């Protein structure tokens, strides 16, 4: 594959709805497909309109100029879908293209999608919890490594600051204090003099904010030391200096699997006032089966065993756009050996670009 410049390969598309014209065909779905291509430097793209069985041609003047264009056209119901690929350093106006085709088709309404960049060395596209595509104003890659556990990526966004992604999922940005404050229910929970465990939390943000609340002692258990090293250098506005050392006056960081450490605490008879599950998101799945669900159930069960009678387990769930998965998680809470009650809340997290749901869980009296 050839090399692309920063503009990369762009994709354009729009939808046009025919005005009073019905597409005829023997079956539903895509009943026609036409492809087209114009050569380098061409200023006119002609698309043969034989989808409706007619002989007329739809043609448009391509005003972007200087590039090579190709694409496809398909009809679904009464809707014409046109996709255009082009490579041009001068760019092209999708809005003008939409208008020109719309006028020729006599469509009642149409919609132009923003161009999508392909072949760029800068990551710009990441999903919402329910798999909708988001484009970020990312202008550079700050850090990229793969640990033995996951892919670690830190990019810079012009609006969010540095953004940490783990296995290509948004984790935390420099603009996400609301995530941490909602997870810890700042202003609603009293952490002064309390003993606390953080499961995960490798970006250091939760530990940094909890220490401001004057707890007695905080233990953070993180399996991936490389995440902490990256966060200590590139997310300093989130974590301060807490990741510079593994032990402070009233906290320590244990580099280990949290399941192992929780089992050790159970054997030692230790208990804590608060346990934070800052680990994986609730899976998006049709049923609560699989490795991730088993891990979540294990963490919940172990945490209840080391939680003091009046203690709380605090965790995040998933996007509010995934109610079925959230309900599935809540059903898991009712099946724990230790009866529990819970409350939940949500907050809009800037780097997620959506509302995120958080849970507070405690033993039932």
How far apart, in whole angstroms, are the C-alpha atoms of residue 275 and residue 294? 19
For 232, the token pair is 């200590």
Nearest of 76, 95, 80 to residue 25 by alpha carbon: 76
Dihedrals phi, psi of 217, to nearest 5 degrees: -165, 140
> Pairing mode, if any, of strands 217-222 and 195-200?
parallel
How far apart, in whole angstroms, are the C-alpha atoms of residue 300 and residue 295? 9
Q: Which residues are catalytic?
A: 278
Nearest of 139, 137, 168 to residue 152 by alpha carbon: 168
CB 163 within 8 A of CB 142: no
Burial of 147 (0-12, 13-18, 19+ CB in 10 A): middle
Helices 323-334 + 291-306 axis angle, to 10? 50
């Amino acid at each position: 594959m050839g090399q692309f410049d920063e503009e990369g390969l762009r994709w354009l598309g729009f939808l046009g709805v025919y005005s009073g014209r019905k597409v005829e065909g023997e079956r539903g779905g895509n009943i026609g497909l036409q492809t087209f291509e114009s050569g380098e430097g061409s200023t006119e793209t002609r698309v043969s309109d034989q989808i409706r069985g007619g002989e007329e041609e739809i043609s448009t003047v391509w005003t972007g100029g200087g590039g090579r264009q190709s694409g496809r056209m398909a009809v679904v119901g009464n809707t014409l879908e046109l996709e255009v690929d082009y490579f041009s350093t001068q760019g092209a106006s999708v809005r003008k293209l939409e208008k020109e085709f719309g006028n020729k088709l006599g469509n009642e309404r149409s919609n132009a999608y923003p161009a999508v960049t392909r072949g760029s060395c800068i990551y710009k596209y990441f999903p919402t919890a329910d798999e909708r595509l988001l484009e970020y104003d990312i202008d550079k890659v700050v850090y990229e490594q793969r640990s033995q556990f996951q892919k670690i990526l830190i990019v810079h966004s012009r609006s969010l600051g540095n953004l940490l992604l783990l296995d290509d999922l948004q984790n935390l940005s420099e603009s996400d204090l609301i995530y941490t404050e909602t997870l810890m229910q700042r202003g609603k929970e009293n952490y002064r003099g309390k003993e606390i465990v953080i499961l995960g939390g490798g970006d250091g943000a939760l530990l940094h904010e909890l220490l401001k609340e004057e707890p007695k002692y905080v233990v953070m258990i993180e399996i991936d030391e490389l995440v902490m090293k990256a966060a200590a250098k590139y997310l300093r506005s989130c974590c301060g200096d807490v990741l510079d050392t593994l032990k402070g006056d009233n906290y320590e960081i244990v580099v280990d699997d949290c399941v192992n450490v929780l089992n050790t605490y159970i054997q030692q008879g230790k208990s804590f006032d608060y346990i934070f599950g800052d680990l994986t998101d609730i899976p998006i799945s049709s049923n609560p089966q699989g490795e991730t669900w088993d891990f979540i159930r294990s963490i919940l069960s172990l945490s209840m065993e080391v939680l003091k009678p009046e203690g709380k387990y605090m965790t995040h769930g998933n996007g509010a756009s995934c109610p079925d998965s959230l309900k599935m998680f809540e059903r898991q809470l009712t099946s724990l050996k230790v009866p529990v009650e819970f409350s939940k809340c949500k907050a809009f997290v800037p780097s997620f670009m959506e509302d995120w749901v958080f849970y507070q869980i405690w033993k039932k009296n």
